[in-house]
């Protein structure tokens, strides 16, 4: 890669990594997997950097790579195993407003959605992609994005109105 391209990519990666990581976290519910997915996405962007049309949405392509990375991770059998740490060494944070609890409820509710619905909601309402951009990232039609998002929002409302149901 040429030096100007390298510098441009480095600037893009530095400005995008936090957002990609946060988006991935909302899709998978695990910060370690989110970090891996964001890095995998940036590696894919780097490999195709000289071929990507920067006027047509570099962020869209990065999000497409991110969604693919998150979904690929979820298909790996070793990723489905969850280790349980029985020793909880963390001390509870003082959160008088309950905002941490609210965020955790939303993340748990998102985790209860099927992957396609979760991706639609996260890309549309967190990553702030347009209907067309979301459809392009997910490789489905705009009608599919609309119906998946509608179903997801309905289910999220149910889960957040009755948090005890998120485990089902």
Q: What pLDDT shows up at residue 37?
A: 94
Q: What pLDDT shows up at residue 106?
A: 85
Q: What pLDDT shows up at residue 107?
A: 86
Q: What pLDDT shows up at residue 53?
A: 74
- Residue ranges of domains in the chain: 1-78, 98-168
- Residues of the chain predicted below pLDDT 50: 79-93, 95, 168
The domain made up of 1-78 is a member of CATH 1.10.1740: yes
CATH class of 98-168: mainly alpha
Q: What pLDDT shows up at residue 97?
A: 52
- 8 Å CB contact between 137 and 129: yes
Q: What pLDDT shows up at residue 119?
A: 92
Query: CB 156: neighbour CB atoms within 10 A?
Result: 20
Q: What pLDDT shows up at residue 80?
A: 47
User: If you count DSSP H runs as helices and E runs as strands, how many of each does the chain have, helices first?
Assistant: 7, 0
Q: Could you tell me the two tokens for 46?
A: 């780097």
Q: How far apart are CA 57 and CA 61, in angstroms?
A: 7
| CA dist 112 → 18, 70, 73, 152, 166 (Å) | 24, 16, 17, 10, 6
Quick check: pTM over 0.75? Answer: no
């Amino acid at each position: 890669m040429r030096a100007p391209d390298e510098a441009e990519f480095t600037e893009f990666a530095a400005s995008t990594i936090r957002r990609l990581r946060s988006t991935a976290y909302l899709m998978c519910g695990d910060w370690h997997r989110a970090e891996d997915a964001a890095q995998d996405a940036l590696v894919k962007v780097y490999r195709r950097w000289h071929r990507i049309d920067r006027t047509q949405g570099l962020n869209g392509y990065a999000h497409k790579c991110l969604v693919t990375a998150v979904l690929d991770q979820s298909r790996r059998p070793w990723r489905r195993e969850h280790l349980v740490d029985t020793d909880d060494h963390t001390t509870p944070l003082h959160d008088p407003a309950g905002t941490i609890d609210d965020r955790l409820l939303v993340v748990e509710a998102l985790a209860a959605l099927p992957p396609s619905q979760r991706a639609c909601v996260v890309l549309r309402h967190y990553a702030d992609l347009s209907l067309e951009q979301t459809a392009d990232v997910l490789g489905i039609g705009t009608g599919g994005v609309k119906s998946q998002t509608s179903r997801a929002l309905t289910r999220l409302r149910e889960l957040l109105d009755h948090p005890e149901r998120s485990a089902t």
